[in-house]
Amino acid sequence: MSDSPHPQVPRRRLRAELRGAREAADLTQDDVAKAMEWSLSKIIRIEAGSVGVSSNDLKALIRLYKIDDPNRVDELLALARQSRERSWWSGYKELLNLQYIQFIDYESAATFIHGFQPVLVPGLLQTEGYARVTITQLGENLTPKVIDDLVEIRMKRQELLAQETPPGMSFVLDEAVVRRVVGGRDVMRKQVEHLIELGGRGDVAIEVVPFSAGAHPGMQGPFVIIRLPEPAADEILYLEGSKGALVVRDDPEDLASYQEKFEQLRKLALSPADTTLLLQQIAQELA
């Protein structure tokens, strides 16, 4: 199989197409399971996008749903092939849970990423030194090899910043993120200088909510909203759960709530220009 940039995206499209085709055929998931002689859980997992679907299984579903437009059949089969392809992170599956793999996949396909962090610099904005310190100190019983691999994964995620057309990014950080000296003064100074450099790119907006803003909605925890490209053009919300686990939400009400929260945080934050001044001051203090 060839490497695919982001197989979760065609899998997401395929699951929506199959669910819509089933409903158009006036069939329940239980009806499909009985007709296909599958377990109910299999069709549920396919429509949830948590597993791929083989070409033979897909062709059988196409016949069951009476999809006879050749162009649509070809499109569905192409989506199924793409959804089974390997990505660079496939080689790290033993280190990553499914939610994190999905997160990387959607992140790599994003047209826009925005999020909030109250404690740590977002992974896409971390220097290698900062990433190594946080992975080492926050991980549990990690071997040197695992630490190296996790740092490598974080750095490879950042390759999307070097794409010819990188996604737009907007991050709001609590002032604690840039004030906390992670890894010592030298590591933190280089991290702050890196944030200054990224903020000057034009496609990355970094804004800091100052301590003077007091309590704010972001204190409930970090979140990331990823906007996917056409034709789906929908958005996915990721929340950080216990022990760093990621929880995916794509419910419209959840998304609307966090989009509103993000805008509230932006209103409380310093402007990008004033954020740069603050970061320059902090870098000087760390020198």
Tens digits of residue pLDDT in 155-176: 999 999 999 999 999 999 999 9
Residue 233 has pLDDT above 70, yes or no: no
Do 236 and 110 have their domain in common? yes
Do 97 and 78 have their domain in common? no
Q: What is the pLDDT of residue 76?
A: 93
Would residue 30 count as lying in a domain? yes
Beta bridge partners of 113: 169, 226
Interacting residues of 62 by C-beta distance below 8 A, sequence separation 6+: 21, 73, 76
Averaged pLDDT for residues 100-105: 86
Do 20 and 159 have their domain in common? no
- CATH number for the domain including 39? 1.10.260
Residue 246: its H or E element: strand 246-249
Residue 95: its H or E element: none
Distance CA 53, CA 58 (A): 6
Q: What is the pLDDT of residue 4?
A: 47
Averaged pLDDT for residues 216-229: 92
Place of tokens 């069939």: 27
Do 118 and 233 have their domain in common? yes
Averaged pLDDT for residues 198-214: 96
Residues 115-170 have pLDDT tens digits of: 999 999 999 999 999 999 999 999 888 999 999 999 999 999 999 999 999 999 99
Q: Which two tokens stand for residue 14?
A: 């395929």
Residues 2-15 have pLDDT tens digits of: 344 577 778 878 88
Q: What is the pLDDT of residue 278?
A: 98
Q: Whole domain around residue 169: which residue ranges?
A: 93-127+155-286
Interacting residues of 111 by C-beta distance below 8 A, sequence separation 6+: 167, 168, 227, 228, 229, 233
Q: Indicate the Cα dihedral angle 202, 203, 204, 206, nearest 10°.
A: 50
Q: Strand 223-227 and strand 235-240: pairing? A: antiparallel
Which letter does DSSP use for residue 123 in this model? G
Count of beta carbons in the 10 Å neighbourhood of residue 53: 25
Q: What is the pLDDT of residue 193?
A: 98
Would residue 145 count as lying in a domain? no
Of the pLDDT bands very low, low, confident and very high (cuts 50, 70, 90), residue 231 is low
Q: How many domains does the chain have?
A: 2
Would residue 139 count as lying in a domain? no
Do 244 and 200 have their domain in common? yes
Q: Which two tokens stand for residue 140?
A: 């549990």
Residues 35-53 have pLDDT tens digits of: 999 999 999 988 877 777 8
Q: What is the pLDDT of residue 90?
A: 77
Q: What is the pLDDT of residue 86?
A: 76
Q: What is the pLDDT of residue 162?
A: 92
Distance CA 124, CA 115 (A): 11
- CATH number for the domain including 228? 3.30.870.10
Q: Kindly write down the DSSP assignment for every residue of 225-284, as one continuous string.
A: EEEPPTTT--EEEEEE-GGG-EEEE--HHHHHHHHHHHHHHHHHSPPHHHHHHHHHHHHH
Count of beta carbons in the 10 Å neighbourhood of residue 129: 18
**For residue 155, how far is the Cα from the chain centroid?**
15
Yes or no: say if 207 and 266 are a contact pair by the CB < 8 Å rule.
yes
Q: What is the pLDDT of residue 2?
A: 37
Yes or no: say if 207 and 272 are a contact pair by the CB < 8 Å rule.
yes
